[in-house]
Chain A
Amino acid sequence: MSDILKIKEEYLNKLKENKNLDKINQIKSELFGKNGKITNEFKKISLIPPEERKKFASDLNSVKDEIQKIIEQQIKNFETDKINSKLQNEKVDVTLPERSFNRGKIHPVSQVIDEISSIFSEIGFSVEEGPDVENEYNNFTALNTPDNHPARDMHDTFYLDHKKEFLLRTHTSPVQVRTMLKGKPPFRIIAPGRTYRSDSDQTHAPMFHQVEGLHIDKDINMGHLKGCLNHFIKEFFEINKIKMRFRPSHFPFTEPSAEVDIGYELKDGKIIIGEGDKWLEILGCGMVHPNVLKNVKVDTSKYQGYAFGIGIDRLAMLKYGINDLRAFFETDYRWLSHFGFDPLDVPSNYRGLSR
């Protein structure tokens, strides 16, 4: 028997007996280490006569492969056993709470502003803004509400000076004025923002939010106004059937003017928007008054269009079942947590306005 076969036989037996990782590693080094038995056999190759050398090398390699394979397998087995036995002791109560993570909230007013912007974006409106502090001209006079006109009594105004030149805007309509003065028609904008009136009770807050809409172009008539608001209200409330009523009203800056009511019913004290037989006023609108267009240098022989103003807080209350307006602005942490939205919940027209 050649040395090679002897080694093979001897170590195959040894490998069968040994059931311990250290022993296997010892065998590995006895065979394949620097002075290992197999290693030494390889060193002999050059001494073997050329005619036997090929067979010797071939036999040696096959023995080496065979033993090595067994050793590797055994090592893996031992490692697996080791992991398995370790796992026995690594059991954790997975019902314990996770590490802390706090996600914040988006205020309902902000969420609703984003919903509104998303809806109007789809029908080509862009967002404009204006300052919270306005001058008397932009807030009233330019909007066809002259001084000493009772229409001004409709707005309880906060003033910043005794001459009543500077004030907190009572509506978002001055953004119409600013937008039209700085640009050229056509205009198709919405302007959401804070508005202020010195009025405070259960249903009025001294600060609230409005979104203004303005669409000025050639041949824009009341039919377009109706269509636009009809589209908006259906999209916003995410219902297909909704009763809507346009009825005549008066605003100095639009003519003809309208107020829009939507149908609702009360179920268990909760307002259900849609088809009930009660009416709820939700916005004011109309065709922009020619006097306003003249004030902002729009050529009334070529251009006309509509404007509307919607109370954002009111919309948020209706859609999300919030019944106290004052609570919007009182920063009750529990309220914010309850009515706030996940910041990842960005309203969009492809993912949907709301979940």
Chain B
Amino acid sequence: MKFTVKWLKNHLDTNLNDKQLIDKLTNVGLEVESYESQTSELDDFIVAKIITAEKHPNADRLKLCDVDIGKKETVKVVCGAPNAQKNLYTVYAPPGALIPKNKMKLSVSKIRGITSYGMLCSGSELNISNESDGIIDLKIKKYKNQIGKKYFKSNSPKVIDLSITPNRADCLGIKGVARDLAAAGAGRLKEKKTSKIKFSGPQKIKVKITKERNQGCISFGSCLIKGIKNTESPKWLKDKIISLGQKPISAVVDITNYIMIDLNRPLHAYDADKIDQSITVRNSKKDEKFHALDNREYTLDDEMCVISDKSGVLGLGGIIGGTRSGTELHTKNILLESAYFLPKSIRLTSKKLGIDTDAKYRFERGIDPNSIEDGLLKAAELIQKICGGTISRLDLVQDEKFKKTKIKFPINLFKQITGFEIEKTEMIKILKNLGFLVKKDKQNINLITPSWRPDISQPIDIVEEIVRIKGYDQIKTEIPEKKRIKSTLNKQQKLFHLLQRSVASKGYYETVTWSFTDSRINDILRGEKQTVEIINPISSDLNVLRNSIFSNLLFYLKKNLDRDIKDISLFEIGPIFAGKKPGQQETVIGALKSGVVSRLNWIENERKLDLFDAKRDLVQSLVEAGLDQSKFYITSKAPNYYHPGKSGSIYQNSNDKISVANFGEIHPNILQKLEIKTEALILFEIYLDRINLSKNKLKDQKKKFKFSDFQKSERDFAFIIDKNFNVQELVRIISEIDSSLIRDIKVFDLYEGNNIPENKKSIALNVTIQSLEKSLNDQDLEKINKLIISTVETKSGAKIRS
């Protein structure tokens, strides 16, 4: 919503200066987005000086000029003007500028092989003279200190740009803004002068609003103005239209626009001679066609509110008029429409057809239904003044009367909500100034809301009106109470917090990527999950919700590798999706690491990353989060984006149905598909919501501290065993032999190859044996030794290696 202070003062008597008015606007809730001169296309043209002008190497009649435009660096401009020469002051147009004469937009271009940045202008090109033989020659005296400054001085007054919240339809008109300011003590609202129109006869074009379901129009006011001479608008009106950032068209059109902004009252002017007999306001029929003033042909759906005559649709009520009945400079007789359309109907129609107009914007927020006559009178009077003609009596066809909104406002509600008190008389004064009709009793104020405030319907709205006019600075600051009723984080949130920092402490950089991704990458990673499409994606490569945490991570890993960063460790913690319904998501940590360990290291040997690096980071993080590693059960069934032989899944307990984490090296096919080039790429993921957390606090989880000071012994074993038999199982067999004696089992060697049969491997373990009760003697040790060997051999089919 844009207007000048001068225009505002048409409605407001005020002593405040501009800055005070701006502050006041902000304080009552009409946010000032900017207060500056209207920008103009002419702002681009600046004063410049030619530093050198040399002959173009490839063209005899062109010159290559070095031009000072008031910046650090000069620019190169190719120019064909014979008068382009050293030390000439002239007008420069940069790339992007719109040349007034031919409406061409300049771009950086090559002229005979030399790049030209912008252009030096002739008087003719700028529409300021007919001189087209050479570029403008500015007087050195006057322009010496102006290099880089705008050539066209802006005389336009500063314009206030308000951001009007959707509830304040009334402030889409300048009168409404003035009313708010007046209520807040910024001045006095000027009362309208009574109109002095001499009416001549009735409005003869018959208007009918059909009674049908979902009729979008409730009242239609009109008057006929005959014998006008439509013309260019007078200067005062043109200036107002220009200050809105619009182009003046003709007096009739400009006046309707002026009234719309001034009073928030959209109007429409028809060429009365082009109306076929009479006007019917009705619902459209499906596939009816209509050519609108925006030069587009619309095919209508049913139940759109149209203004029609015997020949068909004239306009979309409250949205846009049609070309068939549009006014032109030679129009003699006009029918002026001022109607009320239902916001919902306007919104549905404009959404379906994709039309946005100033009138639509206002009607869908709610126009004052009682402004129909005011609008007609003010517009008719202006038209008559500028274009002459005779004005018919107003015609008002009304389907139903508007109900007034009544509110019983309990006075104490104000203090209850805002925390401070103001006098009842002051409340009443504020409300009256805002246009409320007020009656009071002891506890309540009985109100009738002004017809221009469709947003106000209940007591809380009244609190807001009073407090915003009184000023938010009146609200006290209550010091917050430092009392906790519930722990800040629940168990699951603590786990999130802990794992996030735990993974980061392993060398991974946390990143945050979109929850959506490119379906092409997602498809590689989604497994059995269904694709969740976004109906209106921001771009085609962000078109689905991510099914896996790795899609974006891999994408950005590649980007970083392409920046020639080699060893990259990234992780993200966030949602992945399994469906389009709320709740079909889970929280996951995905981590990946590329490259080698100890690159260019003087003391450590460089080696490729492998799955055991991933496993270390994963297991350690899980342990830090409070999981019991001794209960972990690991399988080799990781999702298919992992290397099939070099990946695993971790189950929190051996009898769990779902795994809590996966780890491994990436499937080489994925590297190939995504064209990722690195020495190695390992990854792991943790499914936070699947982790089973102890309900007990740590203080209740700790077991009794037991230890043994009796001598401990270590024994080494090497078993030859089936290649497919896993170490986890072997360790389990041994640890279950005698948990009172076997303290610890370490795997210290794995060997395959020479001396070991094919399909077999040798595993060496170190077992720590210690009793809680006594020092073990040789016999005891021998006994447990033998038991270990025999148990392992029977249960696993292994053979002790001698």
Contact = CB atoms under 8 A, between A and B. Distances in A.
Interface of A: 96-97, 99-100, 102-107, 109-110, 114, 117, 120-127, 129, 131-135, 138, 148-151, 153-154, 158-162, 166, 168, 186, 188, 194, 196, 198, 200, 206-207, 219, 221-224, 226-228, 230-231, 246-250, 255-259, 287, 289-290, 304, 328-334, 336-337, 340, 343-344, 346
8 contacts: A100-B601, A123-B480, A168-B534, A221-B416, A227-B480, A250-B165, A256-B463, A336-B511
B24 to A, nearest CB: 11
A117 B556 contact: no
Contacts of B493: 127, 129
B417 A221 contact: yes
A186 B481 CA distance: 14
Contact of A132 (B477, B500, B575): B575
Contact of B166 (A100, A135, A250): A250
Given A102-B569, A159-B534, A304-B416, A246 B515 contact: no
B47 interface: no
B679 to A, nearest CB: 16
Contacts of B568: 333
B416 to A, nearest CB: 7
A2 B365 CA distance: 127
Given A248-B29, A250-B165, A162 B509 contact: no
A329 B516 CA distance: 12
Given A100-B604, A231-B479, A247-B26, A131 B485 contact: no
Interface string B318-340: 00000000000000000000000
Contacts of A246: 472-473, 475
Determine which residue in B348, B581, B601 has the highest number of CB atoms from chain A within 10 A of its CB, and name it: B581
Contacts of A120: 488
Interface stretch (B302-310, B425-433, B557-565): B557-565
Interface string B496-516: 010011111111111111111
Interface in B8-39: 26-29, 31
B582 interface: yes
B196 interface: no
Contacts of A289: 460
B81 to A, nearest CB: 38
B583 A194 contact: no
B475 A226 contact: yes
A246 to B, nearest CB: 4
Nearest to B466: A256
B480 A121 contact: no
B484 interface: yes
Interface string B156-198: 0000000001111000000000000000000000000000000
Nearest to B502: A343
A340 B502 CA distance: 15
A112 to B, nearest CB: 11
B278 interface: no
B580 interface: yes
Nearest to A196: B515
A256 B165 contact: no
A224 to B, nearest CB: 5
Contact of A106 (B343, B482, B501): B501
Given A160-B535, A228-B480, A194 B505 contact: no
B489 A132 contact: no
Determine which residue in B504, B539, B573 has the highest number of CB atoms from chain A within 10 A of its CB, and name it: B504
Nearest to A183: B486
Contacts of A257: 464
Contacts of B565: 333-334
B167 A250 contact: yes
A70 B471 CA distance: 96
Contact of B461 (A161, A255, A330, A336): A255
A191 B433 CA distance: 40
B420 interface: yes
Determine which residue in B490, B501, B508, B597 has the highest number of CB atoms from chain A within 10 A of its CB, and name it: B501
A128 to B, nearest CB: 9
B166 A150 contact: yes
Contacts of B490: 126-127
Given A127-B488, A227-B479, A132 B603 contact: no
